[in-house]
Structure 1
Amino acid sequence: MTQRLLFEERVLFSPNLPEAVDQLLQQAVAASHAEKPLAEKLFKQAQQLDPGCLQTYFALYKFYFYQGRLQEAEREVLAGLEQAAGQGGFPTDFRQLAAQSTQWDMYRSDTTLFYLYTLKALAFIKLRQDLGEEARAVLAAMAVLDPQDKSGASVIMQLSAALEPEAA
């Protein structure tokens, strides 16, 4: 007995996504369940087609993360942070950015919000890699950069706190 889809499986990316990039990402998402090598190839093609498209970094780091390929996920997160900082005209390094936080409104654009969400992803990846100290450094910067917690980093902060070894 074959199952029929009652609706088309489609992921909603940014509404400003170029059509060709969106098509590649949609094909990659569809392939990601059964044909991971094809999905990876399509995700990378989308990124190569438009290296400035932040959604391609998001899609790739999520793809790698869900497969447990944490080093590759981290590589895409770092590339996405660099791309967003370049587009936003602010420092790439989150420590430098936090130190200069009064100069930057991290809620002003999709680019800066992408940076915050991607920084949160970096903290989570660091936790999954058992690099708690590095994760806490990212989260400390996030507390400064995202005081309204629009990125939802407080959830990762709570997880990090729960994973910290108790003081002897």
Structure 2
Amino acid sequence: MDLLDFSDCKLYFEDPLPAAAEALIAEASREYGSPGAELALLRAHLLAPDNLTVLVGIYRYYFYQHRLEDALQVAELAMQLSGRQLGLPADWALLDERRLAAAAAASFGLLRFYLLALKAASVVLLRLGRIADSRPRLIKLAGLDSRDQLGAAKLLEVVDEFRSPDASTASDEPAFNLAIA
């Protein structure tokens, strides 16, 4: 399956958004960096709690404000919502090629969103220094994406390259500080 082929799929941001929620997202954009931006995003979420565009806005706000625990919660919520729509198990570890194929048949664009949300959660976990929590997610993604179109295998390679040699026998504390991802 070509995870970069968007030619025949609906993307998350094409879902209709209530006008009031759209106005709140625009307000958040104008007020970025001020407390009013977060409030506008959270109000948009109250109006459209299942809208992935709103969740992406909240995730980006938290990520770029370095509120990584909050960003992680939003990435996981995005996975729950999109996974539920795709009929995927609540536990990402249960993903396999059969389930992926069924989800792709239902909505390829939404499946790609789900996989990118899983990668986003992995990156946030890396930024938090929680390597032991991130690695299994990256391994799962790499196993499902044989051509590494989402970049999880390459990211895993970099993580493993910088891990200390005794990291697997001691605690799984990082031997590096991931500054950007």
TM score, norm. by length of structure 1: 0.79
Matched residue SS, 2:13: coil
The percent identity for this pair of structures is: 26
Q: CA deviation at 1:167?
A: 4.8
Cα deviation code 1:30-76 (max 9, x no counterpart): 2113x1x1111111111111111112222111211111111111111
> In the TM superposition, what are the counterparts of 1:1-168 in structure 2 within 5 Å?
14-20=13-19, 21-33=21-33, 35=34, 37-97=35-95, 100-105=96-101, 107=104, 108-167=107-166
Q: CA deviation at 1:155?
A: 4.6
Q: 1:22 to 1:144 in 2, by over 3 A?
A: farther
Runs of 4+ in structure 1 displaced over 3 angstroms?
A: none
Matched residue SS, 2:120: helix
Cα deviation code 1:78-103 (max 9, x no counterpart): 11111111111111211011xx3323
Q: CA deviation at 1:24?
A: 1.9
Q: CA deviation at 1:141?
A: 0.8
What amino acid sits opposite 2:56 in the alignment? F
Q: 1:148 to 1:22 in 2, by over 3 A?
A: farther
What amino acid sits opposite 1:82 in the alignment? Q
The answer on whether the counterparts of 1:116 and 1:146 sit within 8 Å (CA) in structure 2 is: no
Q: CA deviation at 1:19?
A: 5.0
Q: 1:158 to 1:55 in 2, by over 3 A?
A: farther
Stretch moving more, 39-48 or 105-114: 105-114
Q: CA deviation at 1:157?
A: 2.3
CA distance in 1, matches of 2:28, 2:154: 29
TM score, norm. by length of structure 2: 0.74
Higher relative contact order (CA 8 A, sep 6+): 2
Gaps of at least 5 residues in structure 1 are 1-12
What amino acid sits opposite 2:81 in the alignment? Q
Gaps of at least 5 residues in structure 2 are 1-11, 168-181
What amino acid sits opposite 2:91 in the alignment? D
Number of residue equivalences: 152
